[in-house]
């Protein structure tokens, strides 16, 4: 088997690590590019969301590179995503590709479901082999996320723009190559120290901004035109409401300690939205309510035609918890100059708002 999965942040790093430990060939798609987007747009129904189009483009490029087994998210939730693997399978078969599609219903089947998928892929490897390999992959996500959280803090104040991003790229390469958990611990320590040494501009008072919204466009930098990097250049310390490692914890493991962060967010949204509306719409409302006091502003990322985020976008202006929100609609028409203009105007607004509040507090 030559296994692939669509790009989603650094998903390929952990997946590749697990597959290689199990002796299975991993074929990550080439990095998502304009070509990926063009292929996805060309072969997708027009009204579908950007995650569908980009993941379809990833699959086409991975098949061209020799992949023959495709892993794709699936499930029974209210979002269309749960059915995307069926439609993508049909489209790819109509294009003449030969492959096997494996749907991943991880939210329902949790960690055990994930283990069984690797059991199937390896043709029945022992649990003693599968479990450490899967845990190694998951550990890689935790290390990447710890480093990325710090990168987002440093970007706002670094003297040389791009220094933190360069360290992140080096760290990803080292993490992808790591074969043992103890080397991951060393990599984490080494790159966090490197980030601590990045020269900073002491005159910058970073603004605190949260990036939140639909899961895919929040995590996948190509789909949001590197919004975190651009905010960093504007002097914003970015906090993201979700990371791949957090998501794997929520999705793969039961939570024996009671309420987790996701439940807290749902509870916060209740006065304005009483039920799950699919995707991450409920969470988007809850994030605003829960964190209005913690941030100078929120960037709400929503794919065009995404019903859950349209609901959230319409509710957010009516909450009594007050914090400026900029909704960015992500689709194939989105251009960098337009996005930058909106980001600059938004950052200007929240900077003035902070100054006014500081003045009023004196």
Return the residue of 118, 141, 216, 282 that touches ligand SF4, per CB under 6 A: 216
Q: x/- string (CB under 6 A) for ligand SF4, residues 252-291?
A: ---------------------------x------------
Which one, 18 or 36, has the nearer CB to ligand SF4?
Answer: 36
- With binding defined as CB under 6 A, does residue 49 bind ligand SF4? yes
Return the residue of 7, 16, 53, 80 that touches ligand SF4, per CB under 6 A: 80
Do you know the residue count of the chain? 362
Spatial strand order in the sheet of 100-104: 25-26, 2-4, 69-73, 100-104
Q: Which H or E run contains 270?
A: none
Instruction: Determine the size of the site formed for ligand SF4 (CB under 6 A).
Output: 11
How far is the C-alpha of 107 from the C-alpha of 308, rounded, in Å?
A: 18
- In whole angstroms, the minimum distance from the beta carbon of 54 to ligand SF4 comes to 11
- In whole angstroms, the minimum distance from the beta carbon of 127 to ligand SF4 comes to 33
How far is the C-alpha of 334 from the C-alpha of 332, rounded, in Å?
A: 6
Return the residue of 306, 315, 316, 343 that touches ligand SF4, per CB under 6 A: 306
Read off the tokens for 59.
């699959």
- In whole angstroms, the minimum distance from the beta carbon of 308 to ligand SF4 comes to 5
Cβ-closest position to ligand SF4: 279
- In whole angstroms, the minimum distance from the beta carbon of 330 to ligand SF4 comes to 9
- With binding defined as CB under 6 A, does residue 303 bind ligand SF4? yes
- In whole angstroms, the minimum distance from the beta carbon of 321 to ligand SF4 comes to 23
Exposure string of 148-161, with b = 16+ CB inside 10 Å and e = fewer, is bebbbbbbbbbeee
How far is the C-alpha of 327 from the C-alpha of 335, rounded, in Å?
A: 15
Which one, 78 or 183, has the nearer CB to ligand SF4?
Answer: 78
3-class secondary structure, 296? coil
- With binding defined as CB under 6 A, does residue 163 bind ligand SF4? no
124: left (phi over 0), alpha (psi -120 to 50) or beta: left
How far is the C-alpha of 12 from the C-alpha of 137, rounded, in Å?
A: 9
Judged by CB under 6 A, which stretch of 19-27, 187-195, 254-262, 301-309 contacts ligand SF4? 301-309
Judged by CB under 6 A, which stretch of 124-132, 144-152, 302-310, 342-350 contacts ligand SF4? 302-310
- With binding defined as CB under 6 A, does residue 81 bind ligand SF4? yes
Exposure string of 5-25, with b = 16+ CB inside 10 Å and e = fewer, is bbbbbbbbbbbbbbbbbbebe
- In whole angstroms, the minimum distance from the beta carbon of 312 to ligand SF4 comes to 10
Please return the burial class of 307, using the count of CB atoms within 10 Å of its CB with bins 0-12, 13-18 and 19+: middle
- With binding defined as CB under 6 A, does residue 308 bind ligand SF4? yes
Among the listed residues 212, 232, 206, 156, the one whose alpha carbon sits nearest the alpha carbon of residue 326: 212
DSSP 5: -
Which one, 49 or 184, has the nearer CB to ligand SF4?
Answer: 49
Contact residues toward ligand SF4 (CB under 6 A) are 49, 51, 79-81, 214, 216, 279, 303, 306, 308
């Amino acid at each position: 088997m030559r296994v692939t999965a669509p790009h989603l942040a650094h998903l390929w790093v952990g997946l590749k690590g697990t597959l290689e430990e199990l002796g299975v060939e991993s074929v990550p798609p080439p990095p998502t590019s304009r070509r990926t987007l063009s292929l996805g747009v060309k072969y997708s129904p027009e009204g579908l969301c950007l995650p569908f189009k980009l993941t379809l483009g990833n699959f086409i490029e991975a098949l061209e590179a020799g992949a023959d087994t495709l892993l794709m998210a699936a499930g029974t939730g209210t979002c269309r995503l749960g059915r995307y693997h069926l439609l993508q399978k049909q489209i790819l078969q109509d294009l003449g590709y030969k492959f096997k599609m494996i749907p991943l219903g991880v939210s329902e089947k949790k960690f055990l479901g994930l283990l069984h998928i690797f059991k199937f892929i390896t043709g029945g490897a022992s649990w003693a082999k599968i479990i450490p390999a899967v845990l190694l992959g998951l550990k890689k996500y935790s290390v990447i996320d710890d480093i990325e959280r710090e990168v987002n803090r440093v970007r706002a104040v670094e003297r040389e723009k791009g220094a933190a991003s360069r360290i992140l790229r080096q760290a990803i390469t080292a993490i992808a190559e790591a074969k043992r958990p103890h080397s991951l611990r060393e990599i984490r320590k080494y790159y966090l120290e490197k980030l601590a040494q990045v020269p900073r501009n002491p005159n910058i008072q970073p603004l605190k901004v949260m990036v939140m919204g639909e899961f895919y466009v929040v995590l996948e930098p190509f789909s949001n035109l590197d919004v975190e990097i651009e905010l960093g250049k504007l002097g914003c310390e970015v906090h993201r409401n979700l990371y791949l490692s957090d998501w794997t914890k929520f999705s793969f493991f039961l939570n024996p300690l009671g309420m987790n962060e996701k439940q807290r967010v749902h509870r916060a949204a209740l006065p304005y939205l009483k039920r799950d509306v699919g995707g991450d719409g409920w969470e988007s409302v809850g994030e605003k309510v829960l964190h209005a006091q913690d941030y100078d502003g929120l960037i709400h990322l929503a794919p065009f035609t995404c019903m859950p985020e349209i609901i959230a976008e319409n509710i957010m202006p009516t909450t009594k918890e007050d914090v400026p929100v900029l909704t960015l609609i992500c689709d194939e028409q989105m251009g960098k100059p337009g996005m930058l203009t909106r980001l600059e105007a938004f950052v200007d607004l929240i900077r003035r708002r902070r100054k006014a509040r500081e003045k009023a507090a004196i």
